[in-house]
């Protein structure tokens, strides 16, 4: 029986959440999109990865409601809506509109919003989100090509996206413990507040939040706020101690790194990996003119067992120049399509280990490889696990990394871990 059903707004965020839930040792299934077939062989934790972060609001809501229906059919009675720990969204959504639609379908009159992830430098204080020591609006996220985040206050970001009142449970409440937080939520509910931003600056705060909110039908947040739930469910018997555990298959060592993210951390990771690997850089302007043929030819010439990376990762000024000439959507689509094509070619050449950086890239690559379900394995970095799947009848391993996650040595760390 599925204990918790989760919906994530992008593929890397879904693996982030699934990896943290898998720390419990219990099997976690991750589905790439809403499955077409009814639920079978379900795990205690079922996660559905969507690609709806920047979709039109109506499309995102419809897709998330379909995911909810599948998870309800799997037996879940509690649900989690996962979005990025930097609260990525536009002024129109999709975080708030999806949350309200899911609340309405479930009959939930209140939920929380907590994108904090202290292990990765994301904290919330007095309703303001910080990336490391920088307010969100002053961090590199202010230059994100699709969802530039130029305000750090989560209430101000959320209010235009929802129709019901927004409130705050601040750190002074959270530090007093789960009973105090429950009392604050009850007070806000009595005053008609449906959407509550909750402060967190440490894992201890996340533990308090999980204890206080664990019985709520519907929660929202970054992945870390769900991290303590498996242990709590095991303690009270909601989760069976004999639930099936995860297993790690053995695979050939041929590997490739595919990077479409242009975040500051990914730029550092690409630079670090190029010290030991051969690389090929994709340029959207060249792809628009000449296609992916040159990159395919380069890949075919590389020894199967060699360290290699194909990347579109670039400085913000270069990204903007391409977007100005091609348009934001077209520039992104050209890169995603190219990396997806190259992933398939790599598999045909014998590659079985794929390290993928960037949410949009991860969605394109997994779709091209025909991956529909992943079993979650060991973490490489907080929130970034190895996953195992079938692709064209072959067992493969894939890790899907959000742009800002991991140390500078992440790519080599990942392959060493596996």
The CATH code for residues 255-417 is 3.40.980.20
CA distance 50 to 82: 10
Q: What is the pLDDT at residue 377?
A: 86
- Looking at residue 96, the DSSP 8-state letter turns out to be H
3-state helix, strand, coil in the chain (%, to 5): 40, 20, 35
CA distance 168 to 185: 9
Confidence of residue 246 (pLDDT cuts 50, 70, 90): low
Scored b (16 or more CB within 10 A) or e, 175-203 reads eeebebbbebbeebeeeebbbbbbbbbee
Confidence of residue 243 (pLDDT cuts 50, 70, 90): low
Domain ranges of the chain: 4-236, 255-417
Nearest CA-CA partner of 384 in 410, 366, 346: 410
193-223 tens-digit pLDDT:
999 999 999 999 999 999 999 999 999 999 9
The pair of three-digit structure tokens given for residue 327, joined into one six-digit string: 């348009």
Instruction: Please say if the pLDDT value at position 325 is more than 90.
Output: yes
Q: What is the mean pLDDT of residues 174-194?
A: 98
Neighbours of 210 (CB within 10 A): 21
CATH architecture for residues 4-236: 3-Layer(aba) Sandwich (3.40)
268-320 tens-digit pLDDT:
999 999 999 999 999 999 999 999 999 999 999 999 999 999 999 999 999 99
The pair of three-digit structure tokens given for residue 276, joined into one six-digit string: 């030991």
Q: What are phi and psi of 215, to 5 degrees?
A: -95, 0
CA distance 239 to 29: 15
Instruction: Please say if the pLDDT value at position 247 is more than 70.
Output: no
Nearest CA-CA partner of 399 in 336, 371, 305: 371
Q: Lowest mean pLDDT of 92-106, 229-243, 362-376, name the range.
A: 229-243
369-402 tens-digit pLDDT:
999 999 888 889 887 889 999 999 999 999 999 8
Q: Collapsing DSSP states into helix, strand and coil, what is residue 412?
A: helix
Q: What is the pLDDT at residue 127?
A: 98
Q: Which DSSP helix (H) or strand (E) runs through 195?
A: strand 195-198
The reply to whether 4-236 and 255-417 are identical in fold is no
Q: What is the pLDDT at residue 17?
A: 93
Beta strands in 3-127 (DSSP E): 4-8, 28-32, 45-49, 78-82, 111-114, 122-125
CA distance 172 to 374: 40
């Amino acid at each position: 029986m599925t204990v918790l059903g989760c919906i994530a707004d992008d593929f890397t965020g879904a693996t982030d959440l699934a990896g943290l839930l898998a720390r419990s040792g219990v099997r976690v299934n991750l589905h790439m999109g809403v499955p077409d077939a009814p639920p079978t062989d379900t795990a205690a934790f079922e996660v559905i990865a969507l690609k709806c972060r920047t979709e039109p609001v109506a499309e995102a809501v419809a897709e998330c409601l379909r995911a909810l229906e599948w998870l309800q059919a799997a037996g879940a009675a509690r649900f989690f809506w996962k979005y990025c720990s930097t609260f990525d969204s536009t002024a129109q959504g999709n975080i708030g509109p999806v949350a309200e639609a899911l609340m309405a379908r479930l009959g939930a009159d209140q939920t929380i919003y907590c994108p904090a992830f202290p292990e990765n430098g994301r904290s919330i204080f007095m309703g303001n989100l910080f990336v490391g020591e920088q307010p969100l609006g002053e961090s590199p996220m202010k230059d994100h090509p699709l969802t530039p985040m130029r305000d750090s206050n989560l209430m101000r970001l959320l209010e235009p996206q929802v129709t019901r009142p927004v409130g705050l449970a601040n750190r002074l409440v959270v530090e007093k413990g789960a009973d105090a937080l429950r009392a604050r939520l009850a007070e806000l509910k009595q005053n008609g507040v449906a959407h509550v931003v909750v402060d967190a600056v440490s894992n201890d705060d996340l533990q308090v939040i999980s204890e206080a909110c664990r019985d709520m039908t519907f929660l929202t947040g970054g992945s870390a706020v769900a991290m303590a739930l498996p242990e709590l469910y095991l303690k009270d018997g909601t989760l069976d101690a004999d639930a099936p555990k995860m297993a790690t298959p053995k695979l050939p060592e041929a590997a490739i790194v595919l990077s479409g993210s242009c975040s500051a951390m990914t730029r550092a990771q690409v630079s670090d990996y190029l010290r030991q690997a051969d690389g090929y850089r994709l340029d959207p302007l060249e792809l628009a003119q000449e296609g992916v043929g040159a990159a395919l030819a380069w890949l075919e010439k590389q020894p199967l067992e060699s360290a290699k990376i194909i990347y579109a990762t670039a400085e913000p000024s270069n990204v903007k120049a391409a977007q100005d000439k091609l348009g934001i959507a077209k520039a992104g689509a050209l890169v995603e399509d190219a990396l997806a094509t190259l992933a398939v070619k790599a598999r045909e050449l014998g590659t079985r280990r794929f390290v993928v950086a960037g949410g949009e890239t991860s969605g394109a690559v997994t779709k091209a490889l025909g991956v529909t379900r992943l079993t979650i394995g060991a973490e490489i970095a907080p929130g970034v696990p190895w996953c195992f799947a079938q692709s064209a009848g072959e067992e493969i391993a894939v890790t899907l990394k959000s742009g800002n996650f991991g140390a500078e040595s992440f790519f080599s760390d990942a392959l060493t871990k596996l």
